[in-house]
Amino acid sequence: MPKVDVLNVAGQKVSEIDLSEDIFGGPVKEHLFHEVVRWQLACRRRGTASAKERSDVVGSRRKMFRQKGTGRARRGTAQSPLLKGGGVVFGPKPRDFSYTLPSKVKKAALRSALSRRLEETKLLVLDEFELDEIKTRRAVDILKGLALDSVLIVDEGNQNLSLSTRNIHKVKYLPVEGLNVMDILQHESLILTRRAVAAVEGRLKK
């Protein structure tokens, strides 16, 4: 069972905590990262691209010139895909790119991402990360004191911290229920509070 130090916001050790072996100490299955990130990106796509087909182009439907005797190619209407301003052949239409992914795969990928950060010693557990007021400067100073630059912070119901970090470059706050593989991989370090660890273990237990 992995054991890590619990720090305060000043970076001082205050205690130790045992992490679940199944969640933080399991094998890292990198192929699941690809599966889940691809699924997340697909679900984020708006799918609103749309091109006008021949019938959607506004304009006269009369024949442009007579069929024979002009020496030119035979033309129908100005909506022809061969003409500038005409319709598009097989153009994109609004569609839903999302698809379902088994919950077991999503949980396994999240466990692998957490295990990867612990393996790299890029996982920090804080006793608490409370701010008396919404103050971005205070949050920046704490992260500098912990020698962290690109970091994902996970806590439960910490509104002051959420609002204080929303404008800091390469820093993101997430509630436990929003923890996901893409955000873990996009940030170099991961901060979990003690109560977030308990909530994550409750969410990902087998």
Look up residue 19 and give its DSSP letter. Answer: P
What pLDDT, on a 0 to 100 scale, did the predictor assign at position 2?
Answer: 86
Cα dihedral sign, 172-177-183-188:
positive
* Mean pLDDT value across residues 1-21: 93
Query: Percentage of the chain with pLDDT > 70?
Result: 100
- Nearest CA-CA partner of 122 in 185, 189, 171: 189
Helix (H, G, I), strand (E, B) or coil at 143: helix
The band of 186, judged by pLDDT with boundaries at 50, 70 and 90, is very high
* Mean pLDDT value across residues 56-75: 93
Query: Percentage of the chain with pLDDT > 90?
Result: 95
State the pTM of this model: 0.85
* Mean pLDDT value across residues 63-75: 93
Q: Is the pLDDT of residue 7 over 70?
A: yes
CATH 3.40.1370.10 given to domain 3-45+100-204: yes
The band of 206, judged by pLDDT with boundaries at 50, 70 and 90, is low
Contact criterion met (CB below 8 Å) for 11 and 188: no
* Mean pLDDT value across residues 27-42: 97
d(CA 75, CA 85) in angstroms, rounded, equals 14
The band of 46, judged by pLDDT with boundaries at 50, 70 and 90, is very high
What pLDDT, on a 0 to 100 scale, did the predictor assign at position 1?
Answer: 79
What pLDDT, on a 0 to 100 scale, did the predictor assign at position 157?
Answer: 87
The band of 9, judged by pLDDT with boundaries at 50, 70 and 90, is very high
* Mean pLDDT value across residues 147-173: 95
Q: Where are the domains of the chain?
A: 3-45+100-204, 47-96
As a whole number, the mean pLDDT across the chain is 95
